[in-house]
């Protein structure tokens, strides 16, 4: 069942609202072969722009890397980190601010075999053949491997029909409050009061959520 592509209006919401509403939506990636890769968004984090010490744009920093965060809501912000990994965000509202939502985990639903291959070809050793479904997209860099997301997708306008990556809303609607768990964001240090501010959102009880589990 195919959903409806999320609109500019949808993305033009404050990051903590968008992060919550993205849970249950589907991230879709169209490869050049035409193949669709997709997963249900089960974990997100909100980044609150220039005032947020954990944001790449804290204090108004504007660099070639983080330029996409300043663009229209719905713009993909893909950055490279730790010398190895890509992470994917969506620019959030309001227009003109550098707010964003980090996609942290997916539950794979389409063409899982291809996603497994994309993950495996970077792995070595005995565990390479034992990639479980719950390990495919259970982290921001993992899902970028599985969906072949890299800096070439940075700046993509996900509202555009031309975009090779986008988000769909399912007809079944969003999650109820009881299905959502909230906690502090992952991997932050020295971010002052923002270190513990609860801006991480996840689908309760979902095995595909990254560590530490909420």
Partner DNA sequence: CATCAGATCTGCT
Partner DNA sequence: GCAGATCTGATGG
Q: How far apart are CA 191 and CA 130, in angstroms?
A: 37
Does 55 sit near DNA (CB under 7 A)?
Answer: yes
Does 69 sit near DNA (CB under 7 A)?
Answer: yes
Decide whether 80 or 109 has the Cβ nearer to DNA.
80
Considering only 34, 83, 161, 178, the residue that binds DNA (CB under 7 A) is 83
Decide whether 33 or 124 has the Cβ nearer to DNA.
124
Decide whether 3 or 186 has the Cβ nearer to DNA.
186
Q: How far is the CB of 4 from DNA (least distance, A)?
A: 26
Q: How far apart are CA 142 and CA 159, in angstroms?
A: 24
- Residue 92 phi/psi, 5-degree rounding, is -115, 180
Q: How far is the CB of 200 from DNA (least distance, A)?
A: 10
Using alpha carbons, select from 68, 67, 62 the residue that is nearest to residue 90.
Answer: 68
Applying CB under 7 A, which part among 28-36, 109-117, 173-181, 184-192 lies near DNA? 184-192
**Cis ω before 20 (30° cut-off from 0):** no
Using alpha carbons, select from 101, 106, 100, 92 the residue that is nearest to residue 37.
Answer: 106
Decide whether 2 or 127 has the Cβ nearer to DNA.
127
Does 47 sit near DNA (CB under 7 A)?
Answer: yes
Decide whether 21 or 142 has the Cβ nearer to DNA.
142
Q: How far is the CB of 172 from DNA (least distance, A)?
A: 27
Which residues contribute to the site for DNA (CB under 7 A)? 45, 47, 54-56, 61, 63-66, 69, 77, 79-85, 87, 89, 100, 102, 119, 123-128, 135, 139-142, 185-191, 210
């Amino acid at each position: 069942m195919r959903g409806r592509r999320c609109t500019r209006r949808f993305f033009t919401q404050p990051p903590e609202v968008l992060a919550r509403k993205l849970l249950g939506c589907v991230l879709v990636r169209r490869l050049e072969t035409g193949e669709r890769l997709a997963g249900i968004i089960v974990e997100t984090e909100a980044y609150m722009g220039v005032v947020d010490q954990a944001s790449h744009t804290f204090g108004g920093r504007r660099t070639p890397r983080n330029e996409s965060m300043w663009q229209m809501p719905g713009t993909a912000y893909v950055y490279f980190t730790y010398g190895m990994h890509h992470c994917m965000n969506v620019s959030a509202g309001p227009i003109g601010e550098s707010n964003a939502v980090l996609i942290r985990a997916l539950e794979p639903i389409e063409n899982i075999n291809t996603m497994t291959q994309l993950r495996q070809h970077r792995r070595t050793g005995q565990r390479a053949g034992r990639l479980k479904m719950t390990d495919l997209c259970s982290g921001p860099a993992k899902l970028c491997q599985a969906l072949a997301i890299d800096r070439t997708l940075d700046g993509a306008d996900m509202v555009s029909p031309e975009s090779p990556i986008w988000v769909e809303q399912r007809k079944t609607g969003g999650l109820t409050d009881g299905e959502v768990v909230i906690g502090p964001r992952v991997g932050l240090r020295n971010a002052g009061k923002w270190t513990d501010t609860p801006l991480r959102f996840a689908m309760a009880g979902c095995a595909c959520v990254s560590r530490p589990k909420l």
